Chains A and B, each alone.
Chain A
């Protein structure tokens, strides 16, 4: 799966967790925190993404990601 496809999965779950972002034009530089996702929302979004991709990666590895583009890169590196 490409990094872009992983980003699409992340965006889908962000929209699921934060419905008011349904029409937000997502960019890889978007920060989940800046978009209004609290720590629990962020953990849920990452877990939903890992579940969709059937990837078992420790959540701690995602901590360094500063935006959804970084997150896609970290996940892509483990696929």
Chain B
């Protein structure tokens, strides 16, 4: 590891779609203001029947178990250049991916790159669940009329087909799954493909995880998803690292980053967003959802080592911070054990919720945009931090110049990923 040269891999373009806005300008503006859209989820298929798609008033009158809370995308704008025939058969995850990739494509000027030299890695697995359940419910008992397109669109790799066709990508495309670390795993895979020279440019997508009420129920039963405590106060439910947290709150999002070498990015008339200085993956050798200090520390230390960075070089950490009872405590222990207790912290999930497969990519974009602005967004609902001694960014945005940031993701099944981002001068 020590023998490796300094990285010359950069992020040259970004695209983001979330509950607080579509596009990087809307996203960073809402983040810095701490604007959120947490509520009872209303997208059809997100609440247990018969309340799926019901009005908020009907749901409130229900005597059923508490409804699932989250932050949903209100309106999606898809570029006119995308054929309507393609959108007709694309899942919601697919439509959001295309719209978000379009932003990143334009941002990085990818029309000027040979299509054979562009690769695509889609982060996430089983991310079209709500769409599939909706199809099952619509055709149960008359299965012979199921739309033939279901036979190809049920596979996550349909996103690879959709995106490569829509943008003419001809290098390679595949999906990678790492639960809630999928988005960051996609970035790391994309880095490897550029570093090895397999392609000149690689796009990493953190796909929108489209949960159905079945996954919500499973995640609630597992104790991972909140909120019983704030069932009637959705705005208060998402509170990572706060003493009153009771689990993660879902948030729809999708992030796209464009990765290439510095030399290749010179076609742009501006600096790249950041240098990807270090990265690492470490497993806990544990199938279960519980986190592990040992694995998290291993990932952080390996990423710092790859970046030839000492802990004191890191001046900002964007943690995984889901709001889970054990996960948040474990993550802070890991950060402290790595000698990073001095770094400034804020939690993007407190504003947009947990995007699961998308989280690692979307939060990386949050890091890049904050780095560019020289400001850190607030952390919502952090009224009583479980560890007050850390340098938390509280209820208001602050000015903070960042040279080196650390971005963390962890997922069920014992996966830990860490990425170091260095400001490009």
Residues of A near any B CB (own CB < 8 A): 16-20, 36, 40-41, 43-44, 47-48, 50-51, 56, 59
Contact = CB atoms under 8 A, between A and B. Distances in A.
Contacts of B89: 40, 44
A19 B145 contact: no
Nearest to A48: B147
Top 4 nearest A-B pairs (CB, nearest first) are A43-B148, A51-B145, A19-B84, A56-B144
Interface residues of B, number: 13
Contacts of B142: 51
Contacts of A20: 83-85
B88 interface: yes
Contacts of B83: 20
Interface in B135-171: 142, 144-149, 152
A50 B84 contact: no
B148 A47 contact: yes
Contacts of A17: 85, 88
B199 to A, nearest CB: 28
Contacts of B88: 16-17, 19
Contact of B149 (A19, A36, A40): A40
Contacts of B149: 40, 43-44
B155 to A, nearest CB: 13
Contacts of B148: 40, 43-44, 47, 59
21 contacts: A16-B88, A17-B85, A17-B88, A18-B85, A19-B84, A20-B84, A20-B85, A40-B89, A40-B149, A40-B152, A41-B85, A44-B89, A44-B148, A47-B145, A47-B146, A47-B147, A47-B148, A50-B145, A51-B142, A51-B145, A59-B148
Please indicate which of the listed interface residues A16, A51, A59 has the most CB atoms of chain B within 10 Å of its own CB: A51
A36 B89 CA distance: 15
Nearest to B139: A51
Contacts, number: 33
A70 B152 CA distance: 27
Contacts of B144: 56
B154 to A, nearest CB: 13
Contacts of A41: 85
Most buried by A among B83, B88, B148: B148
A24 B88 CA distance: 19
Contacts of A51: 142, 145
A50 B83 CA distance: 25
A66 B142 CA distance: 28
A12 to B, nearest CB: 14
A43 to B, nearest CB: 4
Interface in B182-217: none
Nearest to A42: B148
Contacts of B85: 17-20, 36, 41
B165 to A, nearest CB: 11
Nearest to B153: A40
A40 B144 CA distance: 16
Nearest to B148: A43
A40 B88 CA distance: 12
A70 B31 CA distance: 58
Contact of B147 (A19, A36, A44, A56): A44
Given A17-B85, A17-B88, 5 more contacts: A20-B84, A40-B149, A47-B145, A51-B145, A56-B144
